[in-house]
Chains A and B, each alone.
Chain A
Amino acid sequence: GAVVSQHPSWVICKSGTSVKIECRSLDFQATTMFWYRQFPKQSLMLMATSNEGSKATYEQGVEKDKFLINHASLTLSTLTVTSAHPEDSSFYICSAREDSSYNEQFFGPGTRLTVL
């Protein structure tokens, strides 16, 4: 199957700093990428959908200014957690979908963010 990478795999930062997480589709072009958040022992919750070259669509309750998403190319989407606080600590997972793979999202390995 298609491969999606995330970088970094884990990050620890101080409260008030910003953290950028990259999501890359390695062997296919992803018109659409998705960002999920997963709290310990909980399910994945969709945060936003990003389409290459356009603004991301955020789910209800997700702060756009807090979680900045950029999908500048067909293989890269970034999520920036701005002014991070301890409650932002979570596991962030991205997924990518190529046009030819109808319906299937390929998931990245996730990024564990810890805010001190």
Chain B
Amino acid sequence: AQKVTQAQTEISVVEKEDVTLDCVYETRDTTYYLFWYKQPPSGELVFLIRRNSFDEQNEISGRYSWNFQKSTSSFNFTITASQVVDSAVYFCALTPSYNTDKLIFGTGTRLQVFP
């Protein structure tokens, strides 16, 4: 069975703090894709990153960085120097490479950044 767990339901930080959102996944597939999406209050899902299971290199994009560790089945997301505009619900998702129609979402982490 495939599953994505985001244990942190809600996180509150003050602006300029760094914050890490955890994502742990379960899959028996050897090849798969992992995603992070942002859902602001408006509701629209914003794609942040896709990572192939073969690529364990960490990635940095501006204030965002991702730490993929296959050994612990984790794909954590860090926001550096958080801003109020980062306030949103963040979803981690998984799809097997043989069936990319099946996006399996975690329950999401609600991040609130206070000024």
Contact = CB atoms under 8 A, between A and B. Distances in A.
Q: Do A and B bind each other?
A: yes
A1 B47 contact: yes
Contacts, number: 45
B115 to A, nearest CB: 24
A39 to B, nearest CB: 11
Nearest to A111: B43
Interface string A98-112: 000011111111101
Nearest to A2: B47
A107 B45 contact: yes
Interface size class of A (residues with CB under 8 A): 20 to 34
Contacts of A104: 47, 50
B42 A109 contact: yes
B45 A93 contact: yes
Contacts of A95: 45
Nearest to B95: A103
B91 A105 contact: no
A43 B42 contact: no
A94 to B, nearest CB: 10
7 contacts: A32-B101, A46-B103, A93-B43, A102-B100, A103-B95, A107-B46, A110-B43
